[in-house]
Amino acid sequence: MAVIIDGKALAKKVRGNLKEECEELKKQGINPKLAVIMVGDNPASKVYVRNKNKACNEVGIEYEEHLLEETTTQEELNSLIKKLNDTKEVSGILLQSPVPKHLDINQAFKAITYRKDVDGFTPSSVGKLVIGEDTFVSCTPFGVMKMFEEYNIDLTGKDVVIIGRSNIVGKPLAQCCLAKNATVTVCHSKTKNLEEHTKRADILIAAIGKAKFVTKDMVKEGAVVIDVGINRTEEGKLVGDVDFEEVEKIASHITPVPGGVGPMTVAMLMNNVIKAAKEQSNEKSTF
């Protein structure tokens, strides 16, 4: 049976360390603050935003919400982002996705100044990640890398197969794994003979949003399996992209859903807000 990678426990540990760091920063007059923008009335987004608010309160990060109407225009959204860019008290800006279809979320991401891009989605952040410079790493990939570190999973020379090529998870996670000297294959909906790729993976990461898509016969015995997916069944149960009950029997390590990658995503967002606050403070001190 596999070792269960407990993201909930690790996230709690990370938040505890960040709380201590936040308290020290406040003694120096540095007050980390996160501004969250949500457009529309998406029920799932409300849950995610509530979790971020709760995490901020636990760590000691100031939090403010900007809830915009479904009919908000691109100009209005970009104008709010510019205002937050210019607000010295705000350390980090997070635009909750998805946004209504009439809005261009990539244009909005580009409007966020790199210095406050705690989600790691701006072209500057992504570019720095690709060339190996210090940057804000997207929170889900960052959380996965933290799990590898905590469970002493060495990526050097390992075959890592990622199913999913999204800008939020698949692509940045591939760069993170490359930086740790892994050999990385990114698979997607157009990949031929998917099982041939997954069966040779020392580390298999599923991030496609299809319930129980990865079955036991797709996984090599002894592989590390990371499940990034969050799907709700017709019965209302949360499940991942991996058939956990079956794959657990042959994997060496596996993340559950819920309680795996999800809590780490929020914890690493807190980490990025504190990183942003420190960097902005250092910039002020150089003038």
pLDDT at 284: 64
- CA atoms 156, 161, 166, 171: torsion sign: positive
- CA atoms 42, 45, 50, 56: torsion sign: negative
Q: Give 10-residue mean pLDDT values along the chain (287 residues).
A: 97 98 97 98 90 97 97 98 98 96 96 97 95 97 98 98 97 98 98 98 97 97 97 90 98 97 97 98 65
Catalytic residue among 6, 117, 119, 241: 119
pLDDT at 286: 45
Backbone angles phi, psi at 95, to 5 degrees: -100, 115
Backbone angles phi, psi at 6, to 5 degrees: -90, 90
Print burial letters for 109-133: b (CB count within 10 Å at least 16), e (below 16): bebbebbbbbbbbbebbbebbeeee
Helix or strand run (H / E) with residue 269: helix 261-285
pLDDT at 287: 38
Q: Which of 82, 102, 140 is nearest to 263 (CA)?
A: 140
Do β-strands 231-232 and 238-239 pair in parallel, antiparallel, or remain unpaired?
antiparallel
Catalytic residue among 52, 146, 220, 275: 52
The pTM score is 0.95
Catalytic residue status for 280? no
pLDDT at 283: 78
Please, what is the angle between helix 43-59 and helix 7-27, to 10°?
A: 50
Catalytic residue status for 119? yes
Catalytic residue among 33, 96, 117, 243: 96
AA letter at 190 = K
Distances (CA, A) of 203 to 24, 184, 224, 275: 37, 10, 5, 29
pLDDT at 27: 97
N-to-C CA span, the chain: 57
Provide the β-strand partners of residue 231.
239
96-151 per-position pLDDT tens digit:
999 999 999 999 999 999 999 999 999 999 999 999 999 999 999 999 999 999 99
Print burial letters for 168-185: b (CB count within 10 Å at least 16), e (below 16): bbbbbbbbbbbebebebb
- CA atoms 1, 186, 265, 129: torsion sign: positive
Domains defined along the chain, listed by start: 28-118 (3.40.50.10860), 139-262 (3.40.50.720)
pLDDT at 74: 98
245: its two tokens: 């009950």
Provide the β-strand partners of residue 4.
254
Backbone angles phi, psi at 182, to 5 degrees: -85, 160
50: its two tokens: 């509530």
Backbone angles phi, psi at 212, to 5 degrees: 50, 35
Catalytic residue status for 154? no
